[in-house]
Chain A
Amino acid sequence: MKIFIGFVKKEFLHIFRDVRTLIILFGIPASQIFIFGYAVSTDIQNAGIAVLDLSNDEITTEITSRIESSDFFVLKERLQSEKEIDEAFKKGVIRQVIIFENGFGERLQKEGVADLLIIADGSEPNVANLVTGYTKSIISTWVSENSNIQNSGIMSIEPEVKMYYNPNLESQFMFVPGTITIILVLVCALMTSITITREKENGTMEVLLVSPLRPIHIILGKVAPYLLLSLLVMLVILFLSWIVFHLPVQGSMVLLLLETILYIVLALSLGIMISTLSKTTQQAMFISLLGLMMPTILLSGFIFPIEYMPEVYNYLSMIIPPRWFIVILKNILIKGTGLAFIWKETLILFGMTIFLIAFSVKNFKVRQQ
């Protein structure tokens, strides 16, 4: 055991001495979170909107022009009836419809309360959230300004928000599970395959094999640091998405970590398998990037929903571990469900892990001939 720990220490030294490794480990996850989280969504400028004004009084006109004059929105259409809403959304030029109830201005002045309905296009959840959020804040600003000036008691507008498509905003925060899934595959499989083939290239692997270390210890020793660091990376991602995007972990943290460990072990065995198949670090990199990264990004359901894929791709995606892990993460992180809902996916990942380990062990022995 002491021998093993010394060996693991050396692996940590390799990692900390190599700036590139550290960048891949921690820089990429952080930047991905920001890219997917921000760049993709915050840019709402001149978002098209429509207004359905059933009241058509002084106040509704004022609020409408206030919204219209902001940089965020462009009034594309004035609707006449609720029947036109569907068509307006289908054209795809508007992000939301703002509906003022009948007698809006009158009720606001008399009762101090009026109802406003915002219907947003939920097919792009991040955008929908931002659009409705901005609208609400513009309205509440207007309310507070006018309450003060007219001093006519407390006014309040209660905007109600509805999503037109995708009412539960199911793909909200999808980028977090997606990022975690990709990063873990990248870190675990790519890095382990590279670090093992590097020892082969340098000739140090032979020296290790000649030493009293058993092959299994060599492999475990090389892989253990990555298991720990990957878990750390996972926590960093969760922390970032909590701080920046206010995404809490809905489900059990223990279950989340256990599932993550399973997935990491799976990715590590993939890395070991790749290293047994490749002679040079370049080869290992190619196999990892083309054979792992691409399918993970394209077929895991991260970017393209699996339901909409042609059947062939749907079946193809089944052999890709990330497909199952994304489902697991989505369930634990966002829906807060327990093992009862994800036991099938867990079992599939478990089976894959066993298979890969068996394959790698067999291959590693054969290679030594």
Chain B
Amino acid sequence: MNENVVEVENLVKKFGSFIANDNLSFEVKRGEIFGFLGANGAGKTTTIRILVGLSPLTSGKVSVAGFDVTKQAEQVKKRIGYMCQKFSLYEDLTAEENIRLYGGIYGLSKREILQRSDSLLNRLKFEQYRKRLIGDLPPGMRQKLAFSVALLHNPEIVFLDEPTGGVDPFTRRQFWEMIYETASKGVTLFVTTHYMDEAEYCDRISIMDEGKIVALDTPSELKKRYKTKTVEDLFVKIARG
């Protein structure tokens, strides 16, 4: 059993002459929360887009959930979940309809969809909002629902691209509790964020700068190595230095 859910070797992505990802190599282990940090424009989103199969790579080797993203994209797609920066549910559909739609897209049977949506809404204490349009729900709730929907088909790994952008601190805390709970079930989480307090919660973090990974380890190890108190100081030191 391969314990690395993501394996990246010498990944290069060029847009014309601009190099967005400059020879990246890293692994993500099964069940870990992997924080993927970097300033705006450092190339994080490009990397995520390659990992989920939205964007082809220029050279290198990338495998996700044990399959090559270029050659076995279909196998990869079934095994991953994705929540992008922008909101990913349909606002003019109800919570229930959104769940049914995504369940259907991932080929779940009617019974599976019913069971999982019941337990999902139950867990989130959302039963009373089942028939409400997503557009009528507060942003924090939508975000939590979107995350649960991304987990609906039991993916091995979920990519969260700035999932807590524009969410209040209280909901952010709840959201991270959900992330922990998910990780405890053996699901791998690949998270990008601009909130450095969130980076502290990660098992391991990588920091990208100008298309390269400049640091990768546990938060405490990195703080020790760079002699900083917080990840925030660390980030500023590395990304600006």
A contact set with B: CB distance below 8 Å: 2-3, 6-7, 9-10, 13-14, 17-18, 202-204, 206-213, 368-369
Contact = CB atoms under 8 A, between A and B. Distances in A.
From DSSP, what is the main secondary structure of chain A's interface residues?
helix
A213 B53 CA distance: 12
Contacts of A10: 90, 93, 97, 101
Contact of A210 (B54, B89, B92, B97): B54
B84 A207 contact: yes
Given A6-B100, A10-B97, A202-B86, A212 B80 contact: no
Please list the 7 inter-chain residue pairs (A to B) with the smallest Cβ-Cβ separation, ordered nearest first.
A203-B86, A6-B104, A210-B82, A207-B88, A17-B92, A212-B77, A10-B101
Contacts of B91: 202
A200 to B, nearest CB: 10
Contacts of A17: 92-93, 133
Contacts of A14: 90, 92-93
26 contacts: A3-B107, A6-B100, A6-B104, A7-B101, A7-B104, A9-B101, A10-B101, A13-B92, A14-B90, A14-B93, A17-B133, A18-B92, A202-B90, A203-B86, A203-B88, A206-B54, A206-B84, A206-B86, A206-B88, A207-B88, A210-B54, A210-B80, A210-B82, A212-B77, A212-B78, A369-B55
Nearest to A18: B92
B41 interface: no
B55 A210 contact: no
Contacts of B87: 202-203
Contacts of A369: 55-56
B55 A368 contact: yes
Contacts of A2: 104, 107
From DSSP, what is the main secondary structure of chain B's interface residues?
loop
Contact of B82 (A13, A18, A202, A206): A206
Contacts of B83: 207
Nearest to A199: B90
Interface string B41-82: 000000000001111100000000000000000100110101
Given A203-B87, A206-B84, A212 B106 contact: yes
Contacts of B133: 17
A9 B96 CA distance: 14
Given A7-B105, A10-B97, A210-B80, 9 more contacts: A2-B104, A2-B107, A14-B92, A202-B90, A203-B85, A204-B88, A207-B88, A212-B78, A213-B105
Interface residues of B, number: 30
Given A13-B93, A13-B97, A368-B55, A203 B107 contact: no
A343 B50 CA distance: 48
A368 B105 CA distance: 20
Contacts of A209: 53-54
Contacts of B82: 206-207, 210
Contacts of A9: 101
Nearest to B146: A207
B44 to A, nearest CB: 15
B156 to A, nearest CB: 14
A316 to B, nearest CB: 36
Contacts of B55: 368-369
Contacts of A213: 105
Contacts of B80: 210
Contacts of B89: 204
A143 B133 CA distance: 68
Contact of B105 (A18, A202, A203, A211): A211
B79 to A, nearest CB: 10
A6 B101 contact: yes
B70 to A, nearest CB: 13
B52 A210 contact: yes
B51 to A, nearest CB: 10
Contacts of A210: 52-54, 77, 80, 82
Nearest to B81: A210
A3 B105 contact: yes
Contact of B77 (A202, A211, A368): A211
Contacts of B93: 10, 13-14, 17
B85 A212 contact: no
Nearest to B94: A13
A112 B28 CA distance: 105
B189 to A, nearest CB: 16
Nearest to A214: B74
Nearest to B15: A369
